[in-house]
Chains A and B, each alone.
Chain A
Amino acid sequence: MNVVEASGLGKRYGSTWALRECSLTIPAGHVAALVGPNGAGKTTLLNLAVGLAAPSAGAVTVLGGRPAGSLAALDGIAFVAQDTPLYKNLSAADLLHLTSNLNRRFDQHYARARLAELGIPLKKKAGKLSGGQHAQLALTLALARRPRLLVLDEPVAMLDPIARHDFMATVLTAMADDGVSVLLSSHVLAELERVADYLILLARGRVQVACEVDDLLASHRMLTGPAAEAGKYAQWPVVHLRSGEAQAHLLVRAGADDPVAPGWEAHPVGLEELALAYLREPGAAALPGPARSRHADVSEVTK
């Protein structure tokens, strides 16, 4: 099943296109990271996927073909928006009751146990919680709905390192326990490699990369060699070139088996370096990888 399928998706605000010609297919069972500079259209894409915005062009379906924003889609998707908005004058207990009333499925036991474990008092008003506690509360409410897809908009931007780690640990544990797929937008490239196994790079409203991380890393190489010979690789799909006087680094789309000219070295590239290179070259794009649904049958091995 594909948790998100978009074809030609676009969104316009006034005369500006925040997102254009976005086509991607995110398979289930993955953590898909949506990365891009500010204003690239990440929040727009997420809003379209959860039904908070309607497309100006194209279409987006979720959870195997359900129209985004329909009741069927809302049932299976839990969204935590940027700055985790919650009703500030309601206590955690009230918010649990509220969310329980607004959804068909709600795991009260899990939610209460989780809040107790985190040390979040049930009677305190949400507005008085610390940043980390607030984010964890919003996440607990979302996970207690037992969604198929969890969508997070820059969830850890405001959190300190420990809170950030705990937040992501919660998300990933839910993925391990419950098989929930995750789509999150992030600024923090450094933590991507640990967490993401599907990468979407957005720049200026267009999709540059939409691909499984393994396929992406396997299909790129960093070539290092004499700067004078950099032109040799003009034929190859070169993503990014950095050159000193004598030495040049070329990031190319090539596999491990592609031949390397003598005098040149080929290294695999790390995810952060690759993402940065693409973001530096808005014109470059990697064709989306094949939509193989790699069913990581995680819940079977766990127990």
Chain B
Amino acid sequence: MTALTMTARPAEDASLRPVPWRRMAWVTWRQHRIALTGVAVFLGACAIYVWINGLQLHHAYAAAAACHPAASPACSALSSGFHVGAFLLNGYNLQAVPALIGAFAGAPLLARELETGTFRYAWTQGFGRSRWTLAKLVPLAVLLAAAAGALSVLLSWYYQPSFAPRNPALFPLPMSTFAATLFDLRGIAFAAWTLAAFAIGALAGMLIRRVVPAIAATLAAYAGLAFAAALYLRPHYLTPLVTRNVFRYFLSPPGSDYVVRQWWTKGGTTLSQSTTDQVINSTFTRMMPVAHSSREGAVAALKQPTNVHVFHYLTQHGYTQWTSYQPPSRFWPFQWIEGGWLFALSVLLIAATIWLVRRRAA
């Protein structure tokens, strides 16, 4: 049937050097080029959106900030052209980026091999299954983290106006540099979260062995971790500073500082939250002027106690306000801490994935 003869078998290589690592570069690219191109296109689209939006917002901000006097109708018109809400909203959407990358690039990596049975081909080749896994996971992880890092540089530029000396008309609600959207989109946190998401995805794929459930599990696990980190871990990376009787923190958003906790004491004992609320409300009521007639009512309206009055009344009557907070100067130390533990977690997860690959029975 065939006249094709094989050439003589090449001599056995007694040293049995393993197949060189660089060969896997082509393999990884060819097998995952759809996922990689998808990620590139996705990040590119995000970047373009941020760039275009950012340019427009920066111009509007600059125009409004340069306008004097701030309260004049012309300047008010300019400031209304600066959409604070839209400016901030993008942050919430962009927080999903690392999760999506981890889920769609990381989870199918091993899950698809196991689901379709192609691991029976891949893991019986001369390259060896642990080296094969390592050679796929590490370069992809580095690549994705680098791409995310590049995007976060762009995002830092985008959010610049919120940290510049600001015009209160434009930013009625000052924002803390540790606010959820701002912190993990800038610095090295964005790249670190992408790396962690990818590592979670890879491990989930190996554990669950089916693509769609692995993607779902990755998204869920990432969301859980991100919320837990923002709520419980991040405020405590370094011991918060404590200060007392700072009016700025009373019943209003704390500005650029990040308030961890606030509590009141009287005579050395800490008051519970309900007691504190009660005291504040009764003080307000006591300080309300009594109105007898409508004209007196109008005058009384002018004399309604403001927060300042209540605050001074309380502090002068033996109450002390305590606040623990994180100052904005700690932004970069926090970034390194968060980046550090995320990196360590990623390394651990990838190691666990490889360990599972080694011991997995067919």
The short answer to whether A and B are in direct contact, CB under 8 Å, is yes
Q: Are A110 and B19 in contact (CB under 8 A)?
A: no
Distance in angstroms between the alpha carbons of A82 and B39 in the assembled complex: 34
**Bound CA–CA A104/B1 (angstroms):** 29
The residue from B4, B26, B117, B127 contacting A85, defined by CB atoms under 8 A apart: B117
Q: Is B329 an interface residue (CB 8 A)?
A: no
Whether the Cβ atoms of A101 and B4 lie closer than 8 Å is no
Interface residues of A, count at CB 8 A: 47
Q: Which residue of B lies closest to A174 (CB)?
A: B6
The contact sample of 28 A-B pairs, CB cut-off 8 A, is A47-B361, A50-B124, A51-B124, A52-B123, A52-B124, A52-B362, A71-B128, A74-B127, A74-B128, A81-B117, A83-B117, A85-B116, A85-B118, A85-B121, A98-B30, A98-B31, A101-B26, A102-B24, A102-B132, A104-B126, A107-B7, A110-B6, A114-B2, A117-B4, A166-B1, A169-B2, A178-B6, A179-B9
Q: A87-B31, A169-B1 are in contact. Are A102 and B19 (CB under 8 A)?
A: yes
B128 — nearest CB in chain A belongs to which residue?
A71
Q: Are B362 and A53 in touch, CB under 8 angstroms? A: yes
Does A124 lie at the interface of the complex (its beta carbon under 8 Å from any beta carbon of B)? no
Q: Which residue of B lies closest to A143 (CB)?
A: B6
Asked whether any CB of chain A lies closer than 8 Å to the CB of B18, the reply is yes
**In the complex, are the beta carbons of A54 and B359 less than 8 A apart?**
yes
| Residue interface bits B43-82, CB-to-A below 8 A is 1, else 0 | 0000000000000000000000000000000000000000
The docked-state distance in angstroms from the alpha carbon of A233 to that of B74 is 117
What 0/1 pattern do residues 151 to 184 of B give for CB contact below 8 A with A? Answer: 0000000000000000000000000000000000
A21 within 8 A of partner (CB): no
The docked-state distance in angstroms from the alpha carbon of A94 to that of B30 is 8
Q: Is the CB of A102 within 8 A of B27?
A: yes
User: What's the dominant secondary structure at chain B's contact region?
Assistant: loop
5 closest residue pairs by CB, A with B:
A52-B362, A81-B120, A102-B125, A103-B126, A101-B23
- B121 with A86: CB separation less than 8 A: yes
Q: Which residues of A contact B (CB under 8 A)?
A: 13, 47, 50-54, 71-72, 74-75, 77-79, 81, 83, 85-88, 90, 94, 97-99, 101-105, 107, 109-110, 113-114, 117, 138, 145-146, 166, 169-170, 173-174, 177-179
Report yes or no: B126 in contact with A74, Cβ–Cβ below 8 A.
Answer: yes
CA distance A86 to B117 in the complex (A): 8
Contacts of B126 on A, CB cut-off 8 Å? Answer: 71, 74-75, 102-105, 145
| Known contacts A101-B26, A107-B7, A174-B6, then 8 further A-B pairs from the complex at CB < 8 Å, ordered by chain A residue | A52-B123, A53-B362, A54-B359, A97-B30, A101-B19, A107-B6, A169-B2, A178-B6
What is the chain B residue whose CB lies nearest that of A66?
B16
Chain B hits for A179, CB < 8 A: 9
Query: Taking the nearest CB of chain B, how far is it from the CB of A172, in angstroms?
Result: 11
**A83, B121: Cα distance in complex, Å:** 11
Mark out the residues of chain B between 1 and 50 whose CB falls within 8 Å of any chain A CB in the assembled complex: 1-2, 4-7, 9-10, 13, 16-19, 23-24, 26-27, 30-31
